């Protein structure tokens, strides 16, 4: 690491109480931790800082991520996994506390919503929510389209067009949003996940930490870094995932990070 980068990274770490971490491309790739990530994260925790994993994927529950991270040796009981689905459930509880909610989502997410106190209902819903439903059916599409056309509040968990996976990336919520835009003429009133502000606001409230003491690290400029910038967090773009050094030099202002580092393991040098 260049001396200038090391000094800037040390200054960023000094003001940070919580590290929000993207997962794929940032702490692991597929099923493999990146370099000495276990030791790096252990050092972050030992310094008294919190590790919070942050994902837009609302088809899985936090518990499913805890299992994967534990298997890779990247999870500790002090950590938190926070999904766009959790942020959406908290947003609904606060904004529409008594509403009946039609949710296009997996059974696991429905159970999570119910456990969070959201009244999930198929009939006579007041609000409709579009999540990453890997069990999506024509019937569900028709039903949410009806609610949207009738003018009900329309919330989406996150905007990603495709979901990273081996081979061809499958369509994600952003693609469902585009379909429903064509059929209904409407786009979501609110999108909760990265890069927007609902998830950031819910995280600050839940962690009771001001935005200036949070650092977001990720490999995708237009989701991870823009999310941090939109929420007033400092931002670390890591080059261990889908962004290379060349691309990092030509980012629009909205997606420009506080610092570019080779990998999150650079943190170990300044902790
Ligand atoms: Mg990533």
- Both 31 and 18 in one domain: the answer is yes
Tally the domains of the chain: 2
pLDDT tens digits for 165-178?
889 999 999 999 99
Domain contains 84: no
Ligand 1: centre distance to CA 241 (Å)? 7
Distances, alpha carbon 27 to alpha carbons 2, 33, 41, 213, in Å = 22, 6, 9, 21
| Segments forming the whole domain that contains residue 108 | 95-191
* Residue 82 resides in a domain: no
C-alpha 134 to ligand 1 mean position (Å): 20
pLDDT of residue 166: 84
**CA of residue 93 to ligand 1 center, whole Å:** 28
Where among 191, 221, 256 does a domain terminate? 191
46 and 21 inside one domain:
yes
- pLDDT, tens digit (0-9, with 9 covering 90-100), for 215-248: 999 999 999 999 999 999 999 999 999 999 999 9
CA of 121 to the centre of ligand 1 (A): 33
For residue 115, which phi and psi values (nearest 5 degrees)? -65, -30
pLDDT over 70, % of the chain: 100
The whole-number average pLDDT for the span 96-122 is 96
Instruction: Determine the distance separating the centroid of ligand 1 and the alpha carbon of 113, expressed in angstroms.
Output: 25
pLDDT score of 85: 96
Residue 86 lies in a domain: no
- Residue-wise pLDDT for 39-95, tens only, equals 999 999 999 999 999 999 999 999 999 999 999 999 999 999 999 999 999 999 999
Q: Decide if 258 is inside a domain.
A: yes
């Amino acid at each position: 690491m260049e001396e200038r980068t090391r000094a800037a990274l040390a200054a960023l770490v000094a003001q940070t109480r919580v590290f929000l971490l993207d997962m794929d491309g940032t702490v692991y790739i597929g099923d493999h931790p990146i370099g000495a990530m276990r030791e790096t994260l252990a050092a972050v925790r030992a310094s008294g800082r919190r590790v919070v994993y942050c994902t837009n994927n609302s088809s899985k529950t936090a518990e499913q991520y805890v299992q994967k991270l534990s298997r890779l040796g990247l999870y500790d009981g002090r950590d938190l996994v926070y999904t766009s689905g959790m942020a959406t459930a908290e947003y609904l509880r606060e904004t529409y506390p008594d509403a009946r909610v039609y949710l296009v989502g997996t059974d696991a997410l429905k159970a999570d919503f119910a456990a969070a106190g959201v009244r999930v209902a198929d009939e006579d819903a007041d609000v409709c929510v579009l999540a990453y439903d890997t069990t999506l059916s024509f019937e569900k599409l028709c039903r949410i389209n009806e609610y949207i056309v009738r003018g009900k509040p329309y919330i989406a968990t996150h905007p990603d067009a495709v979901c990273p996976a081996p081979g061809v990336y499958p369509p994600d919520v952003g693609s469902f949003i585009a379909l429903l835009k064509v059929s209904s003429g409407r786009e979501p009133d609110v999108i909760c996940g990265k890069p927007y502000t609902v998830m950031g606001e819910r995280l600050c409230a839940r962690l009771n930490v001001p935005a200036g003491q949070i650092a977001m690290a990720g490999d995708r400029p237009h989701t991870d870094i823009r999310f941090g910038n939109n929420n007033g967090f400092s931002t670390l773009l890591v080059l261990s995932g889908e962004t290379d050094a060349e691309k990092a030099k030509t980012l629009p202002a909205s997606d420009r990070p506080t610092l570019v580092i080779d990998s999150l393991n650079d943190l170990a040098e300044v902790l």
